[in-house]
């Protein structure tokens, strides 16, 4: 078995999907998990990007169906988490409106992130190496702070925290382990980016979201493809078992191998 075949098998990506069927499977997955957990609903952080938009649609369908089927009120809570002023926050609210979310909260992470970064810089100073937190380091602080806030809300409201990670992120390790990778369930995990877009079109995700360049929003101007140097077209083709250019293939497989620690549970002895 080639490395490509091994990766595809581990991530569970299909070469082709039926969007309607995949939506149904993933909604049922969320419903089953909610019932088994005896929790009151789902929490999804809505970034304004396509992944969280699709996940929001799946969550809302799941809680609406469960409420109707059981007579119990299950909710989907949409959480908006800007750092200061977020230029595209309107896209987050457009997603909530498109899926008729009635439960929404905005929690601005700027003050908390800046305080954490400042304390880290004090630590550097005490070590005799005065410096600022790196741009990437502060990006990771943002990801982890967002999760702290999500779990604080979820704990008292008895909600399941739903993640947006999918196979095109997993193959590159493009998530912060126990930051934005710290969630309870990931209903998109066996889809590649192209397939997420197929579900988005079927669900009716707003056009403004569909047209955006994928970004984790870790710093101004940051894009996934720019940071990784790998296009999502090549990424998705690879995960569908297709041949891609030798340079892109080598880069993708190198990224996969060097980020294995992000996909693995905490090791012990």
Looking only at the bridges linking them, the beta strands covering 103-106 and 159-162 are unpaired
215 band by pLDDT with thresholds 50, 70 and 90: low
Average of per-residue pLDDT across 197-203 = 97
Alpha helices in the chain (DSSP H): 3-11, 19-37, 50-70, 89-98, 110-126, 135-157, 167-170, 193-203, 207-210, 224-228, 232-239, 246-258, 260-263
The pLDDT of residue 157: 98
Given a contact cutoff of 8 angstroms between Cβ atoms, the answer to whether 243 and 11 are in contact is: no
Backbone φ and ψ for 125, nearest 5 degrees, come out as -60, -40
Given a contact cutoff of 8 angstroms between Cβ atoms, the answer to whether 53 and 205 are in contact is: yes
Catalytic residues: 51, 169
Euclidean distance between CA atoms 99 and 57, whole angstroms: 6
Euclidean distance between CA atoms 88 and 209, whole angstroms: 9
265 band by pLDDT with thresholds 50, 70 and 90: confident
Euclidean distance between CA atoms 218 and 140, whole angstroms: 7
Helices 193-203 and 50-70: crossing angle, nearest 10°? 50
Q: Which residue has the higher pLDDT, 1 or 121?
A: 121
The pTM for the full model equals 0.93
Task: State which H helix or E strand residue 78 sits in.
Answer: strand 75-80
127-153 pLDDT tens trace: 999 999 999 899 999 999 999 999 999
Q: Answer whether CATH 3.40.50.620 is correct for domain 14-228.
A: yes
């Amino acid at each position: 078995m080639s490395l490509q075949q091994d990766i595809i098998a581990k991530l569970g990506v299909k070469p082709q999907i039926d969007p309607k069927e995949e939506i149904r499977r993933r909604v049922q997955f969320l419903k089953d998990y909610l019932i088994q957990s005896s929790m009151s609903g789902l929490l999804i952080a809505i970034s304004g990007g396509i992944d969280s938009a699709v996940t929001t649609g799946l969550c809302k369908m799941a809680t609406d169906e469960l409420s109707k089927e059981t007579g119990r009120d299950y909710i989907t809570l949409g959480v908006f988490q800007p750092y200061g002023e977020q230029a595209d926050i309107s896209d987050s609210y457009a997603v909530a409106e498109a899926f008729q979310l009635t439960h929404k909260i905005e929690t601005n992470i700027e003050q908390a992130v800046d305080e954490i970064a400042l304390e880290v810089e004090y630590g550097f100073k005490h070590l005799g190496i005065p410096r600022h937190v790196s741009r990437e380091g502060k990006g990771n602080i943002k990801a982890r702070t967002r999760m702290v806030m999500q779990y604080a809300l979820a704990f008292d409201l008895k909600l399941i925290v739903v993640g947006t990670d999918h196979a095109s992120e997993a193959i590159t390790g493009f998530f912060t382990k126990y930051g934005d990778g710290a969630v309870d369930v990931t209903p998109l995990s066996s889809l590649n980016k192209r397939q997420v877009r197929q579900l988005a079109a079927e669900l009716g995700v707003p056009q403004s979201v569909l047209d955006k360049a994928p970004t984790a929003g870790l710093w101004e101007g940051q894009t996934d493809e720019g940071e990784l140097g790998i296009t999502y077209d090549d990424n998705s083709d690879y995960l569908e078992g297709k041949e891609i250019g030798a340079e892109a293939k080598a880069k993708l497989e190198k990224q996969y191998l060097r980020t294995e620690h992000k996909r693995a549970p905490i090791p012990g002895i």
